[in-house]
Amino acid sequence: MLLLRNDAKEYGAWFADLSYVYAVAEELAANIKTPTVVVTKSTVPVGTGDEVERIIRDSGTSVQFAVVSNPEFLREGAAIGDFKRPDRIVLGAEDEWARGVMKEVYRPLFLNKAPILFTSRRSSELIKYAANAFLATKITFINEMADLCEKVGGDVQDVARGIGLDNRIGSKFLHAGPGYGGSCFPKDTLALLKTAEDYNSPVRLVEAVVKVNDSRKRAMGRKVIEALGGEARGKRVALLGLTFKPNTDDMRDAPSIAVVQTLIDAGAEVVAYDPEGMEPAAAILPEVQMVQSAYAAIEGADAIVLVTEWDAFRALDFDRVKQLAKAPIMVDLRNVYDPAEMRAAGFEYSSVSRISNI
């Protein structure tokens, strides 16, 4: 068995050039000497496996081979645990021989009762896109409900709990915040839109998700400006967290990028600290002053903004924070802190669509 990955896709554009995959397929075709299963692990457009199979077949090889789609469902920052204890293994194969080989490969995990789903190759390729688009839709839905909560006087956390207790919906990915980012959701939703366009089968719901999520990030920047009294020019804003989620240094499509740009456009000075992401962030956000601790960022700040919910930010000394900050204004974009406790500590506190904001 040979694994075929497209790292250019994982770290490149949202619908990356597949020439790397096809070049490897040509190289494999020239070198396989024994019966071989070629496995595509990357998230690739529907039909990629068909093209890989054609390239190998057209090489004239007489060796038995098969091409299998085996999308990964690993969360960034938790990949090893997810591999050992997957919630499902998806295998797209077109013949029984390939299915038998893949079943043997995954036999140790199957003994741990990890469910294995065999599908057609094209179905397998589509499953990863559909799964990520659905999760992105859940995030975007609760963010829109959060906006509605602010208008009608509801609490989005209560709403999320109430609908999440329905087993048909579930509680995961129902946390209101600044929108989704990272290496998968933005890329895969756009790739799904491109595939749907190519096949003249538009997915309007996903189109709306992408549009709403993009506008959501800028709206969080405007939320900070509102907390500053509507005027950010000349104000110093401390950002706690830059990466799209904790326990990673990944800045790809991080909400912090749009938040920073909104604040810079409004004339604010932005200072930031992130436990892991400052080096990659510095290349993307040259206007931002990077400092070496949360307290260094907070010193002299007119407003403090929690952007990424790192554990380190859950244990801040708020007496010290209040002494260091120029103004005790806290904008919590992840709903980490308790509003009553923050107000009791003397902060002007705002979060995302909780009754205590009103």
149 is catalytic: no
Q: Do residues 186 and 262 touch, judged by C-beta distance below 8 A? A: no
The alpha-helical segments, DSSP class H, found in 32-120 are 48-58, 79-84, 96-105, 107-111
**What are the distances in angstroms from CA 59 to CA 21, 23, 48, 229?**
15, 12, 17, 67
Among 245, 189, 194, which residue's Cα sits nearest to residue 213?
Answer: 189
DSSP string, 179-225: ---SSSHHHHHHHHHHHHHHTT---HHHHHHHHHHHHHHHHHHHHHH
Q: State the catalytic residue, choosing from 184, 206, 260, 305.
A: 184
Assign 65 to helix, strand or coil. Answer: strand
Residues paired with 270 in a beta bridge: 237
Give all strands of the β-sheet with 236-240 in edge-to-edge order.
Answer: 289-290, 269-273, 236-240, 303-306, 329-332, 348-350
Q: How many angstroms separate the CA atoms of 188 and 127, rounded?
A: 11
Q: How many angstroms separate the CA atoms of 196 and 204, rounded?
A: 10
Q: What share of the chain is helix, strand, coil (3-state, %, to 5)?
A: 50, 10, 40
Active-site residue set: 184
